[in-house]
Structure 1
Amino acid sequence: MSSSCSNNDDDGGVIDNSEQIAQVGNTVESGTWRISNFIDSGENETSDFTGYNFSFNSDGSLVAANGTDTLTGTWSVTDDSSSESNIDFNIFFPVPDTNDFEDLNDDWDIISYTSTKIELIDISGGNGGTDNLTLEKN
């Protein structure tokens, strides 16, 4: 009787997140989205984005519009450089630090996603505060 031992996944093999990255991208590119929850270091700032609809376009552009104001930024879904098994949801609006939309600029970790809801989290490296962002499809 003989047996063999193998450690397929314990040898530092690269985890391929490309399928999940594509799924999240396809999900968010469908329709418009709104912020249903935004907690910035314990402060509920959801109302800062009331009335804004977010369009995540396939060219990487991100448009937030409320009928009066329109802001254009960028978005992407990428491998998290600090973890092998996570992906980042990246949002960037080129606005001054005093603009509410600057608070959205981050490489968010995805907690969960469905076809109608995406839950994101970021733990600040600076002050250790936790931010939560939830997007829901309109």
Structure 2
Amino acid sequence: MKKAFYFGLLTMLSFSLMSSTCSSDDDGGSPNDNSQQISQIENTVESGTWQITNFNDSGQNETSNFNGYDFSFNSDGSLVATNGSNTMTGTWSVTNDSNSDDDSSSDDDIDFNILFPVPDSNDFEDLNDDWDIVSSSSTRIDLIDISGGNGETDMLTFEKN
């Protein structure tokens, strides 16, 4: 009787240990763990200054509203846009998308968040959003936002100076 009890206990312990060491995914991380990619994007944009080379707001090309502005993405989360005579200050961050009603069908995308505390009539208000990253490199980042209300698409591209 004791042998059967110990055998059963040993079997349960073995299965318990095996199941705790196995992973159900191939990459070894959680499906929403984008920390390495987020860190890489943050390090890239914190280096140097950037300019907007494309801003398409619901089909309207509004890139010229930001001509001459250099954007600095600072490590403290501040975002400064200056064109020599005007300076706009806001915040930025790169985060895992955690908004279930976001515009993306993917639940593991990364958001590039921009916020300038300005009135609705200010051109910089159009940049305020949780943008989805389409692509990024050491010299360019392409962002998109699809409105949840009317389905209109906004495109924003920053290129390194």
Q: For residue 8 of structure 2, what is the aligned residue in structure 1?
A: none
Q: Name which of 79, 104, 112 aligns with 2:135.
A: 112
Q: Which residue identity does 1:50 align to in structure 2?
A: N
Q: For residue 8 of structure 1, what is the aligned residue in structure 2?
A: 24
**Within 5 Å, which residues of 2 pair with 1:52-131?**
52-81=69-98, 82=100, 83-131=106-154
- Point out where structure 1 has 5 or more consecutive residues left out of the alignment: 1-5
Q: Which residue identity does 2:33 align to in structure 1?
A: D
Deviation at 1:126, TM superposition (A): 1.8
Q: Which residue identity does 1:45 align to in structure 2?
A: E
Distance in 1 separating the partners of 2:107 and 2:152:
23
SS at match of 2:45: helix
Structure 1 stretches of at least 4 aligned residues deviating more than 4 Å after TM superposition: none
Distance in 2 separating the partners of 1:85 and 1:126:
22
SS at match of 2:143: strand
Distance in 2 separating the partners of 1:60 and 1:97:
22
Number of equivalent positions: 131
Q: For residue 50 of structure 2, what is the aligned residue in structure 1?
A: 33
Instruction: Give 1 or 2 for the bigger CA radius of gyration.
Output: 2
**Which structure has more strand as a fraction of its residues?**
1
**Which structure has more helix as a fraction of its residues?**
2
The superposition leaves residues 4-24 of structure 1 with CA deviations (integer Å, 9 ceiling, x where unpaired) of xx98239xx543100000000
> What percent of counterpart residues are identical?
73
SS at match of 1:19: helix
Distance in 2 separating the partners of 1:131 and 1:15:
25
Distance in 2 separating the partners of 1:38 and 1:104:
9
CA contact (8 A) 2:32 2:107 kept: yes
Q: Greater RCO between the two (CA within 8 Å, min separation 6)?
A: 1
Deviation at 1:29, TM superposition (A): 0.1
Q: CA RMSD in A?
A: 1.5
SS at match of 1:26: helix
Is 1:48 the counterpart of 2:71? The answer is no
Query: Normalising by the residue count of structure 1, what TM-score does the alignment of the two structures yield?
Result: 0.90
Distance in 2 separating the partners of 1:15 and 1:26:
20
